[in-house]
Amino acid sequence: MWKFIVRRLLITSPQIIFLSLLVFVLASFMPGDALTGAIGPDVKAERLAELREELGFNDPWYIQYKDWVAGILQGSLGESFQYKMDVEDLIWQRVINTFWLSLVSVIFIYAIGLPLGILSGRYNDTLLDQLITGYTYIGFATPIFIFGLVALWIFGYILGWFPTGGSVDPGVESGSIEYILSKLQHLLLPGLSIALIGTVSTVQYLRSEIIDTKQKDFILTARAKGASERRVYNRHIFRNSILPIAAFFGYEIINLINGTIFIEQIFSYPGMGQLFLDSIVIRDYTVVTALVLLTGIGAIVGALLSDIILSLVDPRIRIK
């Protein structure tokens, strides 16, 4: 078991190194450099060249890469020229906001997806199943930003049930009950928007897993033992069908990163996604690079998590 996890972790490190190289190379292709935006238009070209030399921009790429990585390892992601502050400080609060949004979304994704998937798999080809499947098709076809916009318009502006932006009401005292409730209130609509679209793959996946498991031979064995329909479903079919879903959990993180980018923008929710889009528009490259690196690592960790979960729940993968 531990051997498996250690081995899996070992595979992860080259992945992260590769990712960092990729991000570095892409960043170096971006037009201009960190000085382009940071320095006023009246600075002389000679002075710029001097600065570039001083800051090491003329060094060979591997030296630059080494310096960059060394900086990251010491906790420095560079400076945002837009906010005139260290990127790590800038990102930190956003990461926390995005974390809460993702958590709420994940809870909704499973709260919606598991029951729908189970129902539609168990009663496949009934009217109920057709309704649920119909929903998943619509969900697949609807871009999340359109869905988010419509949800914001209806429930935020027209009905006024939810706040239309921000992550917390201004003026509530941090740490108080009202603060937490206000945060939660700000999370519900964007979280639900992500979940209603994001859960459709879970529903479809679970449905087809259940339909598949239903006709496995060991289900016949269970029936031949005299197990009731309920027992057959609870002990044999669901357990065996949810397994791949559990394994999918880590990949859900990648899914969420996609979702939050748009939704945060639409709901003016101050998270990483919003910062990312803003930074691209104003060419705040240090921030963009840092965010790409971070989400990349998030995705790799997600995949790692999936494998570990799978190895925990599936005895066939457990390695002793």
Partner 1 sequence: MSNPLLEIKNLKTSFRIGEEYYAAVDDVSLNVNENEVLAIVGESGSGKSALAFSVMGLHNRAKIEGEINFKGRNIANIPTKEMNKFRGNELSMIFQDPLTALNPLMEVGRQIDEVLILHNKNMPKSKRKKYIIELLERVEIPRPQHVYNQFPHELSGGMRQRVIIAIAIANQPELLIADEPTTALDVTIQAQILDLIRELKDDLGSGVILITHDLGVVAEMADRVAVMYAGEIVEVADVDTLFSDPQHPYTRSLLSSIPLLDDVQDKLHVIHGIVPSLKNLPRTGCRFSSRIPWMDEDVHEENPELSEVSPGHFVRCTCYKHFYFPDENKEEQDHDTTKS
CA distance 102 to 285: 25
Q: Maximum CA pair distance of the chain? A: 87
Nearer to partner 1, 59 or 229 (CB): 229
CA distance 164 to 96: 20
Distance in Å, CB of 280 to partner 1, minimum: 46
Contact 8, 308 (CB under 8 A): yes
**Binding positions for partner 1, rule: CB under 8 A:** 216-218, 220-229, 231, 235-236, 239-240, 243, 313-316
Which helix (H) or strand (E) segment holds residue 80: the answer is strand 79-80
Distance in Å, CB of 118 to partner 1, minimum: 17
Nearer to partner 1, 170 or 226 (CB): 226
CA distance 82 to 37: 9
Distance in Å, CB of 232 to partner 1, minimum: 10
Parallel, antiparallel, or unpaired: how do β-strands 85-86 and 79-80 relate?
antiparallel
Nearer to partner 1, 153 or 218 (CB): 218
- The DSSP output letter for 170 is T
Distance in Å, CB of 228 to partner 1, minimum: 6
Distance in Å, CB of 315 to partner 1, minimum: 4
Alpha carbon of residue 307 to chain centroid: 17
Q: What angle do CA 150, 153, 159 make, to 5 degrees?
A: 125
Nearer to partner 1, 161 or 218 (CB): 218
CA distance 1 to 17: 25
Which helix (H) or strand (E) segment holds residue 79: the answer is strand 79-80
Nearer to partner 1, 68 or 233 (CB): 233
Distance in Å, CB of 218 to partner 1, minimum: 5
Alpha carbon of residue 162 to chain centroid: 23
Nearer to partner 1, 174 or 215 (CB): 215
